[in-house]
């Protein structure tokens, strides 16, 4: 996803000199092509994410479209007050990019585990929240937030995510995309955990279960229309995210379902329970430990199916 983000942003910068990228003193391997080609549209703010964010807001209010770039929680939680007061409140054209959502930097410990970011950013007024699931979605989302007025949050994986094969011509901010049609149960996911979801669907076929799979590259504004439609069509909705079950995709879906009148689907949320991840290890290891791997998804869906 990182490489696709950079190549897409370079295309935007070539067309629009107002596009500006600010890094918090990292990403040099992947960002080098950008700063070499567009040195006047690039700034290294140093390890000072709060300053980076306020600087970006000032540039945006002067007419620039500014992308800030850092890893994990650093461009979000560390700079939360500046995002709230300087960017979102003024509806400034600042596009906050996190590389390493979820457990990407799993071996570096909880300070680098971005597992509350979607909830926190979603709670801020005037902020669009995007979590693409593969390189194609990352490309689309990078272009989409360029055209989207105001402050946006783009949560990326690190790299190596497989293409899910979802046609990008279906994408628009605020709309979910159906990846596979099925029956009885709908699996809703956001972010780079789509590979686990699709692997789980393949394994469930051996049990005679063929769930519908729906990708939510936009977490805010959430696609309430699709959620409501699914709630009336399926007996269970399972949300899957590499994030806390509080306030992210599962929370957003729960908010919609709470206002759906009459009979509706049961909701089950898969993600990190309301806790900090105190274990270190690879991304896939931590997904399994905390119940988000394909194996864990299959177990949960079988439980839901039996119930």
Q: Are residues 172 and 300 in the same domain?
A: yes
pLDDT at 242 over 80: yes
Structural domain total, the chain? 2
- Domain assignment of residue 230, given as a range: 168-306
Asked if the structure places residue 161 within a domain, the reply is no
What pTM did the predictor assign? 0.95
Closest CA to 140 of 115, 148, 149, 127: 148
Q: Are residues 22 and 89 in the same domain?
A: yes
Q: Are residues 73 and 94 in the same domain?
A: yes
Q: Are residues 28 and 109 in the same domain?
A: yes
* Averaged pLDDT of the chain: 94
pLDDT in tens, 261-296: 888 899 999 999 999 999 999 999 999 999 999 999
Q: What's the pLDDT at 1?
A: 84
Q: Are residues 13 and 109 in the same domain?
A: yes
Q: What's the pLDDT at 289?
A: 96
Where does a domain end: 156, 186, 206?
A: 156
Q: Are residues 90 and 138 in the same domain?
A: yes
pLDDT in tens, 5-51: 999 999 999 999 999 999 999 888 889 999 999 999 999 999 999 99
Alpha-carbon distance of 272 to 303, in angstroms, equals 18
Where does a domain end: 130, 156, 182?
A: 156
pLDDT in tens, 79-114: 999 999 999 999 999 999 999 999 999 999 999 999
For the four alpha carbons of 296, 297, 302 and 307, in that order, the dihedral sign comes to positive
Alpha-carbon distance of 43 to 79, in angstroms, equals 17
Closest CA to 129 of 150, 155, 108: 155
Q: Are residues 202 and 133 in the same domain?
A: no
Q: Are residues 152 and 238 in the same domain?
A: no
Closest CA to 129 of 112, 141, 137, 111: 141
Q: What's the pLDDT at 228?
A: 97
Where does a domain end: 129, 156, 183?
A: 156
Alpha-carbon distance of 170 to 242, in angstroms, equals 24
pLDDT in tens, 145-169: 999 999 999 999 877 788 888 766 7
pLDDT confidence tier of residue 72, bands split at 50, 70 and 90: confident
User: Mean pLDDT throughout 245-273?
Assistant: 95
pLDDT in tens, 170-218: 789 999 999 999 999 999 999 999 999 999 999 999 999 999 999 999 9
β-partners of residue 78 are none
Alpha helices in the chain (DSSP H): 2-15, 28-37, 49-61, 80-82, 117-122, 135-147, 194-205, 224-233, 249-257, 283-289, 294-306
Alpha-carbon distance of 172 to 223, in angstroms, equals 11
Parallel/antiparallel/unpaired status of strands 218-220 and 127-130 = antiparallel
């Amino acid at each position: 996803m990182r490489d696709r983000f950079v190549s897409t942003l370079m295309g935007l910068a070539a067309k629009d000199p107002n596009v500006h990228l600010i890094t918090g003193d990292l990403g040099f391997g992947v960002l080098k092509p950008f700063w070499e080609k567009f040195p006047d549209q690039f700034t290294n703010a140093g390890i000072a994410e709060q300053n980076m964010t306020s600087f970006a807001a000032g540039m945006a209010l002067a007419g620039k479209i500014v992308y800030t770039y850092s890893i994990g929680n650093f461009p979000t939680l560390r700079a939360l007050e500046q995002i709230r007061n300087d960017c979102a409140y003024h509806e400034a054209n600042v596009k906050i990019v996190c590389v390493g959502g979820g457990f990407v930097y799993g071996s570096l410990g909880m300070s680098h585990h971005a597992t509350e970011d979607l909830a926190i950013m979603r709670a801020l007024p005037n902020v669009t929240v995007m979590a693409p699931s593969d390189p194609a979605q990352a490309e689309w989302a990078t272009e989409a937030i360029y055209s989207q007025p105001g402050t946006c949050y783009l949560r990326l994986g690190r790299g190596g995510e497989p293409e899910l094969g979802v046609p990008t011509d279906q994408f628009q901010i605020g709309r979910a995309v159906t990846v596979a049609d099925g029956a009885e149960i709908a699996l809703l996911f956001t972010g780079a955990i789509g590979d686990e979801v699709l692997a789980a669907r393949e394994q469930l076929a051996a049990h005679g279960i063929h769930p519908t799979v729906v990708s939510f590259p936009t977490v805010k504004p959430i696609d309430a229309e699709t959620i409501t439609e699914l709630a009336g069509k399926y007996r269970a909705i399972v949300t899957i995210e590499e994030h806390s079950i509080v306030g992210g995709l599962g929370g957003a879906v729960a908010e919609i379902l709470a206002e759906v009148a009459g009979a509706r689907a049961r909701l089950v949320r898969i993600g990190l329970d309301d806790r900090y991840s105190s274990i270190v290890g690879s991304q896939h290891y931590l997904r399994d430990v905390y119940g988000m791997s394909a194996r864990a998804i299959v177990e949960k869906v079988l439980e839901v199916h039996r119930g």
